Amino acid sequence: MDSTFLELAAKRYSVRKYKGDPVSRDMIDRCIEAARLAPSACNSQPWKFVVIDDPQLKDTLAKTAFKGLTDFNHFAFKAPVLVLIVSQRQKMFARVAGIVKRKDFSLMDIGITAEHFCLQAAHEGLGTCMLGWFNEKTVKKMLSIPKQKRVELIISLGFADDPAVPDKTRKPTKEMSTYNKYQ
């Protein structure tokens, strides 16, 4: 499974059709290990991963998380695993810096760790989709997540129904980057 980073980045996409095949905990653990190694502001590591791989619990969670207005994420019902990323308290300096700079460094950190997770999943031959639109209140209640915590993302995880990677529509490099000044 050796590949260059650019090949891996091209291989990773948001999967919305999954096989029902189970995902081994060894594979999940390697994805979590990749996420654990992600950098964060002041090394705060402001995340906790909650893995839902019990089929009955996963189905109940999906029904709870993605009903009503969030029904367009119905594909998550077919994913054998759902992974929640719950934000944790940052180190004091990172929080103060975020206030001074008016930037939420913890959300940047969670984005980085989530992508590390997803890139490792792609390397493992798994598909993922990061989901930010879900019923957080009911998910927190169902999983006994404290009220002061935030479930920032749910990542669906499993084997893609179709192993072919779809073509990506992206802006040309020259349209989305410049050197030495903004143009």
pLDDT recorded at residue 81: 98
Tens-digit pLDDT profile for residues 51-100: 999 999 999 999 989 887 656 788 888 999 999 999 977 556 565 555 66
pLDDT digit string, tens, across residues 128-164: 999 999 999 999 999 999 998 999 999 999 999 998 8
pLDDT score of 97: 58
Residue 174's pLDDT is: 92
Please report the pLDDT score of residue 96 as a whole number.
Answer: 59
pLDDT score of 1 = 52
What's the pLDDT at 158?
A: 98
DSSP per residue over 83-143, as a string?
EEEEE-PPPHHHHHHHHHHT--HHHHHHHHHHHHHHHHHHHTT-EEEEE--S-HHHHHHHT
Whether the Cβ atoms of residue 76 and residue 33 lie closer than 8 Å to each other:
no
Q: Which two tokens stand for residue 42?
A: 């002041």
Domains and CATH numbers, the chain: 5-163 (3.40.109.10)
Q: Which runs of consecutive H residues, i.e. helices, occur in 37-104?
A: 55-65, 92-101
Q: What's the CA gap between 161 and 80, in Å, rounded?
A: 12
Beta bridge partners of 49: 85
Q: How confident is the model at residue 23, as a pLDDT?
A: 98
Rg of the chain (C-alpha set) = 17
Count of residues in the chain:
183
* Beta bridge partners of residue 51, listed in sequence order: 83
What does the pLDDT look like over 6-56, one tens digit per residue? 999 999 999 999 998 999 999 999 999 999 999 998 888 999 999 999 999
